[in-house]
Chains A and B, each alone.
Chain A
Amino acid sequence: MTLSELRKTEHLSASSIGTYVECSLMYKFSKIDKIKMEERPSAMEFGSAIHITLEQFYQEKMIGEKLLLKDVHEIFEKTWKIRAEDKTDIQYSKDYDFKSMLMLGKDLLTVWYNKLPDDNYTILGIEEAFSFHLPGIPLVFIGAMDLIEEDEAGTIIITDFKTSGKAYSIDDVDQNQQLTLYQLAMKSMGYADREILLKFDTLIKTKTRRFEQYWTTRSKFDENRLIKKAVQVWDGIQKQVFIPNDTSWKCKNCSYKTACNEWFERRIAS
């Protein structure tokens, strides 16, 4: 089953847990009320275009082919044009527009292509969708792992592709709950006896473009921590506890600003 098929059923995901914790009202707007985002941030579209490009690269690698850099650029250009050219609902930050982001993507992919270490890992899955239950939560958890590989000793490597405006801190990597959920998913898929390593392959949009791999692992304690947190979030959702976090720095660029203001107005009036 694909991720889009899985999304049709009621579910939770790593990002939904994160959204609820960050601003539970935003969770309500996006996941329960299913309100369309007012604007699509360019960074999100850009990330998706890079994502698709890397996915194509690994699809070719999976069958023993290596794409040339110019092919990688071509895929990105085509994808970016489809997703962003002449699209008026994309919200660009002040330094970027459609063209400069096309150049940015090519620059980043060049750095990534040249810095990506050679390895002989076997690719087990690309954009591998999963669905499983966590104890105490009746809804399924769904998601898709960007890349699953195995080295010759049987170690499983789960990679998540990222684009970021800055380098990740140690905490960004070691406390990321998306990776913890991937490990739990992998274990639920029959790989519980394997050594599982997790990493972010991150294309960093700093002035000097960078590519960094951030490796990490998760312990049983990390897994249990996420489970407990998810149970609490589920409890809050069930009890319809939706609190706006209107002091967050993210409020400024929130895609649910109108819905949020209306929500406040209704509450004040009643």
Chain B
Amino acid sequence: MTAKEVQKRNVKSNQLKVMLSENGQYFVESSKGKILYNVAIAGDDKSCTCGDYAKNNKKDPAFVCKHILAVENSVPENEIESAKFLDKNTPKLKDGFLKNIKGKDFVLYAGVLDLATQKGLLKLEVELLQFPTKENGNEAICAASAEGKNGEVFSDIGDANPRNCTEMISKHLIRMASTRAKGRCLRDMCNIGIACLEELESIDDVMGNGTAKKVTPKRTPTAAKSKPAPVKKEPENKPEEKKPEPKAEKKPAKAPIKVNSKDSKGTKSKQDAPLMSEAQKRAIYNLSRRRGVSVENLENAVMEDYGTTLENLSSSNASAFIRELQQAA
């Protein structure tokens, strides 16, 4: 092992966290903080469970990886944290899935699904009981049933209509009824007494005001902003011979934007981050479809990365997510 290699690893080792367990073993966190490597030092005998050590120790018995160096460098500096061994994983609702809004706790659907999966969810089925029509007030009703690993079965129903959904969600009533039914069913299975956030019409249900729910009314016509270009009647003209209205000289002001009050990530204030636009939404669905990402996986990815549902993704996060999807070729 050359001095240069030692120097390189020494520099890297400075950033690593070293822990000492109760039974005297050293553990060093990986540089990304995702796993721990077990380092054993007994006199001149040193070893580490990392790949770098395994690969190089065969060729050079004197090889030391950055984790060993981290331990060696930390001992005199007293930079060792004491660690304790944890019990094996028990099913647990992760904190990120709990939302406290004005003192009331809510759980996200993704959270109950995660917990149910940890508990051994075997089967989750949904049946559409009522299709939304004008006659039934556009109300969709779904029934869900879940089966656990020990054969226990839970079932419940969920409804969605334009009166108990936001304007945006009201375009997806069947899906929302399905999510609500599944959420209620899985809450029973996981013994969770608090309501799912998705069961609410909007955050206004909790906050008691009407500021967050309403979105800017849609513009109805698709007509041009300024004087439209003349309608061409003769198709024999070549495309380059047409003269479209030059729109770019004046920089148009941005159209009114929808506001997101639920987004939990992003640099802007939660209260005024603009919601994902229709075009961004189409781009997301289009990109995910072409990459074979199911709607369910898409929703989960958004929840995992941005802590919110796809429908409530902010414009800036949607933009980042589009890039992410594009790179996931």
What's the interface size class on B, roughly?
35 or more
Q: Which residues of B contact A116 (CB under 8 A)?
A: none
Contact of A55 among B220, B239, B283 (CB under 8 A): B239
A250 contacts partner chain B, Cβ-Cβ < 8 Å = no
Contact of B291 among A3, A127, A148, A170 (CB under 8 A): A170
A19 contacts partner chain B, Cβ-Cβ < 8 Å = no
Residues of B255-290 at the interface with A, using a CB-CB cut-off of 8 Å, are 255-258, 274-280, 282-283, 286-287, 290
A62 contacts partner chain B, Cβ-Cβ < 8 Å = yes
B229 contacts partner chain A, Cβ-Cβ < 8 Å = yes
Are B282 and A215 within 8 A (Cβ)? Answer: yes
B296 contacts partner chain A, Cβ-Cβ < 8 Å = no
Are A78 and B236 within 8 A (Cβ)? Answer: yes
Contact of B219 among A55, A152, A213 (CB under 8 A): A152
B95 contacts partner chain A, Cβ-Cβ < 8 Å = no
A69 contacts partner chain B, Cβ-Cβ < 8 Å = no
With a 10 A CB-CB cut-off, give which of A120, A154, A199 has the most chain B CB atoms.
Answer: A154
Known contacts being A63-B223, A194-B254, A217-B326, is A7 close to B283, with CB within 8 Å? no
Q: Which residues of A contact B134 (CB under 8 A)?
A: none
Are B329 and A217 within 8 A (Cβ)? Answer: no
Are A170 and B329 within 8 A (Cβ)? Answer: yes
The stretch among A26-34, A46-54, A252-260 that forms the contact with chain B is A46-54
CB distance from A63 to the nearest CB of B (A): 5
Closest A residue to B241 by beta carbon equals: A4
The stretch among B40-48, B148-156, B242-250 that forms the contact with chain A is B242-250
Contact of B277 among A61, A151, A190 (CB under 8 A): A151
CB distance from B22 to the nearest CB of A (A): 49
Are A190 and B231 within 8 A (Cβ)? Answer: no
Known contacts being A120-B222, A215-B286, is A152 close to B239, with CB within 8 Å? no
The stretch among B67-75, B301-309, B315-323 that forms the contact with chain A is B315-323
Are A4 and B240 within 8 A (Cβ)? Answer: yes
Q: Which residues of B contact A10 (CB under 8 A)?
A: none
Are B244 and A128 within 8 A (Cβ)? Answer: yes
CB distance from A40 to the nearest CB of B (A): 13
B59 contacts partner chain A, Cβ-Cβ < 8 Å = no
With a 10 A CB-CB cut-off, give which of B221, B222, B255 has the most chain A CB atoms.
Answer: B222
Secondary structure of the B side of the interface?
A: loop
CB distance from A90 to the nearest CB of B (A): 16
Are A51 and B236 within 8 A (Cβ)? Answer: no
Contact of B326 among A174, A190, A191, A213 (CB under 8 A): A174
User: Quick one: CB contact mask for A190-223 with B, threshold 8 Å, 1 for yes?
Assistant: 1100110101000000000000011111010000
CB distance from A6 to the nearest CB of B (A): 9
Are B278 and A151 within 8 A (Cβ)? Answer: yes
User: Quick one: CB contact mask for B30-42 with A, threshold 8 Å, 1 for yes?
Assistant: 0000000000000
Are A62 and B228 within 8 A (Cβ)? Answer: yes
Q: How far does the alpha carbon of A189 sit from the alpha carbon of B251 in the complex, in Å? A: 8
Q: How far does the alpha carbon of A182 sit from the alpha carbon of B256 in the complex, in Å? A: 25
With a 10 A CB-CB cut-off, give which of B235, B238, B242, B247 has the most chain A CB atoms.
Answer: B235
Are B239 and A122 within 8 A (Cβ)? Answer: no
Q: How far does the alpha carbon of A51 sit from the alpha carbon of B241 in the complex, in Å? A: 13
Are A152 and B232 within 8 A (Cβ)? Answer: no
B2 contacts partner chain A, Cβ-Cβ < 8 Å = no
Contact of A124 among B218, B225, B257 (CB under 8 A): B225
Are A155 and B225 within 8 A (Cβ)? Answer: no
B3 contacts partner chain A, Cβ-Cβ < 8 Å = no
Q: How far does the alpha carbon of A213 sit from the alpha carbon of B315 in the complex, in Å? A: 21
Known contacts being A4-B240, A123-B222, A144-B240, is A52 close to B235, with CB within 8 Å? yes
Q: Which residues of B contact A52 (CB under 8 A)?
A: 235, 237-239
Contacts A63-B231, A191-B251 known; 14 new A-B pairs at CB < 8 A: A2-B241, A56-B235, A59-B229, A78-B236, A124-B225, A126-B242, A149-B279, A150-B252, A152-B218, A152-B277, A153-B254, A153-B274, A155-B277, A217-B319
7 contacts between A and B (CB under 8 A): A2-B241, A62-B224, A63-B223, A117-B282, A153-B275, A154-B255, A155-B278
Task: Report A's interface with B, CB cutoff 8 A.
Answer: 2-4, 7, 48, 51-53, 55-56, 59-64, 75, 78-79, 82, 117, 119-130, 144, 148-155, 157, 170-171, 174, 189-191, 194-195, 197, 199, 213-217, 219
Task: Report B's interface with A, CB cutoff 8 A.
Answer: 216, 218-225, 228-229, 231-232, 235-248, 251-252, 254-258, 274-280, 282-283, 286-287, 290-291, 315, 319, 322-323, 326, 329
